Amino acid sequence: AGRGGDVHAAWLPPEAFAPLGSRRVLVRGDGVLVDTVFDEVERACARHGGRADRTAGDRAVDLVLALRDAGPLPAAATALARAAGADGPLGGEGFALARAEGVTVVLADAPAGLLYGLFHLVRLGAAAFEGDHPVRRHAPAMALRMLDHWDNVDVHPVMGQVERGYAGGSIFWRAGAARRDLDRVRAYGRLLAACGVNAISVNNVNVHATEARLLTDRLGDVAELADALRPYGVRVHLSVTFAAPVVLGGLPTADPVDPAVRAWWAAATRRVYARIPDFGGYVVKADSEGQPGPFTYGRDHADGANLLAEALAPFGGVVHWRAFVYNHRQDWRDRSTDRARAAYDHFAPLDGRFRDNVVVQAKFGPIDFQPREPVSPVLAAMPATRLAVEFQVTQEYTGQQQHVCYLAPCWSEALTFAPWGPGGPTVADVAAGSGPGPAAGGGLAAVANVGDDPFWTGHPLAQANLYAYGRLAWDPGLDPVAVLDEWIDLTFPASTVGDPALARETLHAVMDDSWRTYERYTAPLGVGFMVSPARHHYGPDVDGYEYSRWGTYHFADRDGVGVDRTRATGTGFTGQYPPPWSQVYESLSDCPDELLLFFHHVPYGHVLRSGSTVIQHIYDTHFAGVQQVAGMRQRWRRLAGVIDPAVHARVAERLEEQLRCAIEWRDQVNTYFFRKSGVPDVRGRTIH
């Protein structure tokens, strides 16, 4: 079975270690993570002809990876080490890299830094051993870089083993039990460390009966996962049910102010830490889509979150309390309720009331991981609270890993958005704790996209989303195209590819703009949804949610389309933003085109900032989107015989499905709006 058996190596193929593995390497320091670094180096050297040492002798070295307090280094490395450390501490996960006189040095204060330094070297490849490198310090922007697995232990009758999972079964659980072979989990931890993720929640936020017990009598399973992930610096967190004191503890209530309830959580948490000393904490979906919460007892989310925070505090744990709270039993006739308002309405008034080990975790947009949403205003409304931004790496609403949809540009836009106006703090600053809020920051969280599929993610190119998520959590300023280059270099090392230049060019052509392509052929101008309820959000159904209870409507009629969220005539949602956005979004002429129908209901003839009418824009983008997918399919054919045939075949097969589905989207959306509006396409193309 080795490290994951026949599983695809993703961004850590053995060839990626060739530059490092052909060197004379010295690793200095102690601890589990330094052992991991040494194991990695030793394995690479065994394969590629280098030499790995843990004790400094007189032998010449090309590379030194050392903890700063690990004792004397070879002469050549000492001066560099001094220079690298001159600017003060490197932090718990940071490292410094330099090269002079033929020696590359990676220095860290703590073992995790050395691990991240090692994978940085792998990323640099041969360049790490060429010329001189001035000292460069690296540290993550976010302390918490987390993945949330929506994995169930038991197979759920509707959602299956993994809720919104598109890559097979869970890598942790199978049919009611923990998987016994943890090689796959170890291989996963390694991939996560190599992209910078350091925390993982191992079960679904919708906590069903069996999964609730992971906190108590099934804790041993969680401890095993923690053991498997620890060598890669990944901490384990658990989704818990707020009703645990009742359903597990037999108490009559889960009221957060009840002393017996507080004592129950304290004792349960103490047992968790006795078993898993570096346990990360709890993730909670409360009073959301039917999950239990403090509302039952007339308490609010601060009372609820603080209850768990109090239990975790003595051990340094955090509670991720999700802000995804809204009325999921709305009457579609009720125009006064606006789901977009919900997170702000529930949470902003509680700012200042959360304990400092509470992280309020808000989806990046106000609705639900749509391909295009404005940034959630709650992220600018809680300056006294640690906030985490939640993304969805799993492609629930972005093609379900059947479609190529490289999401880093979407996340990058959200992270670099400046809620208080251009030049001000960004969303990334808020999450990192370098904005107006508490210095600790809540970091990033994202719903994971891997399963037991041999390619990890179903669609092999969806691996890039997982990689890019980790990299953006480490450094939200990275350019998504540059991150894709990193991923290409690692995943398709030149030595394994027939024509590396063609492979790179094709992957960029297929992936760079794929998120915007997906946006073009699906719901227009930020209006969202129009997805099939029957098929779990896959494929088009323009009115699929229009008369539902979910609060996700487009309000198309014969005259126009869109949701009026203005203060002047609509739901007032625009007022949840600070200026200038409260004005920009309110104004029909200033509102960005891509969000127009999120904020305004307009006639089909309304002229966009682009100069096109809304109806013509709908037709044009849907024809263009399909054409782009056809182009992607065409280009991909050129890689046959150039890259790994299994990867090529899997992607080729999915591009067929993407094209079929994009055509279906185009024709349903165009026909729908033609029938509603009666306005023909000025270019006279076929609308059915």
Q: How would you label 236-250 residue by residue, b for 16+ Cβ within 10 Å and e otherwise? A: bbbbbbbbbbbbbbe
8 A C-beta contact, residue 447 and residue 421: no
Q: What share of the chain is helix, strand, coil (3-state, %, to 5)?
A: 40, 15, 45
State in angstroms the smallest separation of the CB of 53 from ligand GCU.
48
Q: Which distant-in-sequence residues (6+ apart) come within 8 Å of 139 by Cβ?
A: 90, 91, 93, 94, 95
Rule CB under 6 A: is residue 320 a binding residue for ligand GCU? no
Q: Which of 51, 68, 164, 554 binds ligand GCU (CB under 6 A)?
A: 164
Rule CB under 6 A: is residue 15 a binding residue for ligand GCU? no
Question: According to CB under 6 A, which residues from 379 to 398 bind ligand GCU?
Answer: 396
Rule CB under 6 A: is residue 205 a binding residue for ligand GCU? yes
8 A C-beta contact, residue 221 and residue 182: no
Q: Is residue 396 annotated as a catalytic residue, yes or no?
A: yes
Q: Which of 645, 643, 565 is nearest to 602 (CA)?
A: 565
State in angstroms the smallest separation of the CB of 237 from ligand GCU.
16
8 A C-beta contact, residue 570 and residue 563: yes
Query: Which residue in the list 30, 101, 130, 289 is annotated as catalytic?
Result: 289
Rule CB under 6 A: is residue 8 a binding residue for ligand GCU? no
Amino acid at 188: Y
Report how many residues bind ligand GCU under the rule CB under 6 A: 9
Amino acid at 606: H
- Pick 552 or 658: Cβ nearer ligand GCU: 552
- Pick 289 or 334: Cβ nearer ligand GCU: 289
State in angstroms the smallest separation of the CB of 573 from ligand GCU.
19
Rule CB under 6 A: is residue 326 a binding residue for ligand GCU? no
Rule CB under 6 A: is residue 211 a binding residue for ligand GCU? no
Q: How far apart are CA 648 and CA 640, in angstroms?
A: 6
Q: Decide: helix, strand or coil at residue 364.
A: coil
Rule CB under 6 A: is residue 324 a binding residue for ligand GCU? yes
CA distances from 657 to 403, 623, 630, 660 (A): 8, 17, 11, 5
Rule CB under 6 A: is residue 148 a binding residue for ligand GCU? no
Rule CB under 6 A: is residue 368 a binding residue for ligand GCU? yes
State in angstroms the smallest separation of the CB of 181 from ligand GCU.
28
**Over the Cα atoms of the chain, what is R_g?**
26
Query: Which residue in the list 53, 396, 453, 594 is annotated as catalytic?
Result: 396
- Pick 205 or 212: Cβ nearer ligand GCU: 205
Measure the CA angle with vertex 393, ends 360 and 420; round to 5°.
50
Q: How far apart are CA 17 and CA 350, in angstroms?
A: 49
Q: Which of 109, 163, 338, 620 binds ligand GCU (CB under 6 A)?
A: 163
Number of residues written out for the chain = 688
State in angstroms the smallest separation of the CB of 164 from ligand GCU.
5
Strands 318-322 and 358-363: parallel
Site string for ligand GCU, 257-296 (x = CB under 6 A): ----------------------------x---x-------
State in angstroms the smallest separation of the CB of 581 from ligand GCU.
24
Q: Is residue 211 annotated as a catalytic residue, yes or no?
A: no
Which neighbouring-strand residues pair with 200?
Answer: 147, 236
Rule CB under 6 A: is residue 241 a binding residue for ligand GCU? no
Cα–chain center distance at 680: 41
8 A C-beta contact, residue 669 and residue 618: yes
Rule CB under 6 A: is residue 339 a binding residue for ligand GCU? no
- Pick 188 or 324: Cβ nearer ligand GCU: 324
Q: Which of 237, 246, 365 is nearest to 297 (CA)?
A: 246
State in angstroms the smallest separation of the CB of 159 from ligand GCU.
7
Query: Which residue in the list 62, 148, 338, 368 is annotated as catalytic?
Result: 368
Rule CB under 6 A: is residue 152 a binding residue for ligand GCU? no
- Pick 163 or 519: Cβ nearer ligand GCU: 163
- Pick 82 or 329: Cβ nearer ligand GCU: 329
State in angstroms the smallest separation of the CB of 342 from ligand GCU.
13
Rule CB under 6 A: is residue 444 a binding residue for ligand GCU? no
Q: Which distant-in-sequence residues (6+ apart) come within 8 Å of 674 by Cβ?
A: 680, 681, 687
Q: Is residue 657 annotated as a catalytic residue, yes or no?
A: no
Burial class (CB in 10 A: 0-12, 13-18, 19+), 474: buried
Residues annotated as catalytic (active site), given as ranges: 289, 368, 396
Q: Under the rule (CB under 6 A), what is the footprint of ligand GCU?
A: 163-164, 205-206, 285, 289, 324, 368, 396
